[in-house]
Structure 1
Amino acid sequence: MTPTNASSETNTVSESSSSTSQIPLEDRIVWLNGVLLPANEVQISPFDHGWLVGDAVFETLVIVRGMPFAISRHLERLTFSAQQMKIALPDTDELRQAMMDVTDANGLNEGRLRVTISSGTGPLGSARGHSEPTAIIAATPQTPWPQSSAVATMSWSINENSPLAGLKTVSYGANVRALSLAAAKGATEAIFPNTKGQLCEGTGSNVFLVHRGQLITPSLASGCLAGVTRQLLIELTGAKEQDIPLPALAAAAEAFLCSTTRNIHPIHTVDNQRLRLCPGPATQAASEAFEQLMATEIDP
């Protein structure tokens, strides 16, 4: 078994989706408010609040062996985000079936799937209207990640007291800007502190590191998202949640990112400083445990 998911993912993705990867995005089949149709036939109002003000929640799932992985956990988090944002969700059984239908309609054995639910149409401002929500599900092949990653820490911070803290909303402008800056520094992920200077999260990932022989990750009180992969890893490895000073990441013996699309992704460099181990033994053990889980359970 490989120590990381990167090399095996590269082979699996390239082999299983070689034909479907050539399909233009506009020709892919999506689910819009209960109807399957080509993406180029989708019509969304210019007054939809997801588009206007980022008033929407979403989930990204990885497709494994033709099925969305950990679908129940993702639906649970989607429900939580929608409840906090007071966005009415379609029936979760309907969403579950729609995810399968979109996966099948696009012929994907491996890939990524996204569910987005907005509050619907409204005025040109933050106040909501009274329309029904807009629900969209789309799926594409997954672009493979490199075997390991360089990360760059940001001076911008995540507000752990934000009304959006812990919610998976489409308000990703800060992430887009941070990831662009990280790319300019030769990194593939940007890492945020919170307002207390503690390690928080990446733009699309959670962070684990080894400190004094213990695998640790920022607690949810840091303002980080309750990642599905993060929680599974805590259950698999016994990693401890705690407050972590941001500089501890660069000082760690080993560290890794995790997310739905990355699985376990070793970090080799933090702010141009190479870590001693990549991947280290804790990273390898976490990766092997997670790969075993994915191989044996589709909805853990």
Structure 2
Amino acid sequence: MSEPSAGSEHAAPPENLVVWADGRLVGPGDASLSAVDHGITVGDGVFETCAVFDDHAFALTRHLRRLARSAAGLGLEAPDEVLVRDGVAQVLAEARTRADAGGGEVGRLRITVTAGIGPLGSGRTPGAQTVVVAAGPAKIVAHGRAVRSPWTRNERSAVAGLKTTSYAENVVALADAVAKDGDEALLANTAGELCEGTGANVFVERADELVTPLLSSGCLAGITRELLLEWADEEGLPVREARPGELPFGVLDEVTEGRANLLLTGSVRNVQPVTWLDGVALQAGTVSLAARELFERHRRERLDP
């Protein structure tokens, strides 16, 4: 949560933010969760963020599938998919109504599921989960600016590869990148391999192909990453997962030296060539640009691939 601006009692919520919590639409500033919800006290929850195109949550089925995998990884019961889809439908319908009345369009949708009301410590109290769906504005930018993070991703963590609400590491790493004029931080894992960004998967372009770290590196199994690999395979574009040991973190030196290129993928970034790394201006790679074009074409044709 950001600090209130100077001279104001509370920070204003973002424009056209639509929120649905446990079965009803609520205002962004309404009290709608318990103060002892386990998602608030210890970050015991999972979430998904979808891009919104043409009033639809893109690749919603895949996102819900990953939401269930993350919940299982935390030891939570599977989220009620019917309830979640109902929340998504209500939020997007309300967003459309507001847009038609002159409000701005929404571009992203977030689904959050927590363990519900629980103790102040790490233990859980069995009970109903908390489900929140929210939609708000988003801007897709054509190019990315990345910074090498001084921190690492623990590929052997209990939550490695899970999309959980325990996001403090990502918040700190991203803030560091922004302070250095970037918009994403790139992390190594504890083995010194290139892993991922705070909210994006990473691909390295060299020898006329795009290569992305293996999931065993500790990176998230990104939906955009997954679709790019599938769609590139359909069309014969050279995009693949790395071989073990192929992408050490030092490969980023090749990028700043102009011998390789970099690409980020994510649910709001889509497929985004990186044109700035650690203060060095870069060229977008040929395969990276082709991958962006391929993804944009397919996502317009397949809203729930």
Alignment correspondent of 1:57? 46
Alignment correspondent of 2:262? 255
* Distance across 1 between alignment mates of 2:241 and 2:59: 22
* Distance across 1 between alignment mates of 2:32 and 2:15: 12
Alignment correspondent of 1:216? 211
Q: Which runs of 5+ in 2 are unaligned?
A: 1-11, 100-104, 234-238
Q: Is the 8 A contact 2:48 2:110 kept in 1?
A: yes
Alignment correspondent of 1:141? 137
Amino acid at match of 1:79: A
TM-score (structure 2 length as normaliser):
0.85
* Distance across 1 between alignment mates of 2:296 and 2:30: 38
The correspondence of residues 1-300 of structure 1 with structure 2, limited to 5 A, is 24-25=13-14, 28-107=17-96, 110-145=106-141, 147-238=142-233, 239-242=239-242, 243=245, 244-252=247-255, 253-275=260-282, 277-278=283-284, 280-300=285-305
User: Which SS does the other structure have where 2:25 is aligned?
Assistant: strand
* Distance across 1 between alignment mates of 2:31 and 2:17: 11
Deviation at 1:295, TM superposition (A): 1.1
User: Which SS does the other structure have where 2:203 is aligned?
Assistant: strand
Q: Which runs of 5+ in 1 are unaligned?
A: 1-22
Cα deviation code 1:187-214 (max 9, x no counterpart): 1110000001100000000001112222
Q: Is the 8 A contact 1:209 1:256 kept in 2?
A: yes
Cα deviation code 1:6-63 (max 9, x no counterpart): xxxxxxxxxxxxxxxxx95498442212222333334211111111111010000011
Q: Is the 8 A contact 2:46 2:165 kept in 1?
A: yes
* Distance across 1 between alignment mates of 2:210 and 2:232: 8
User: Which SS does the other structure have where 2:304 is aligned?
Assistant: coil
Cα deviation code 1:97-154 (max 9, x no counterpart): 3212211112265510000001011111111122311110010121343x32221111
* Distance across 1 between alignment mates of 2:240 and 2:79: 35
* Distance across 1 between alignment mates of 2:16 and 2:302: 31
User: Which SS does the other structure have where 1:157 is aligned?
Assistant: strand
Alignment: residue pair count: 275
Identity %: 40
Q: Is the 8 A contact 2:13 2:28 kept in 1?
A: no
Deviation at 1:181, TM superposition (A): 1.1
Amino acid at match of 1:55: D
Amino acid at match of 1:283: S
Q: Is the 8 A contact 2:204 2:262 kept in 1?
A: yes
Structure number with greater CO (CA < 8 Å, separation at least 6) is 1
User: Which SS does the other structure have where 1:170 is aligned?
Assistant: coil
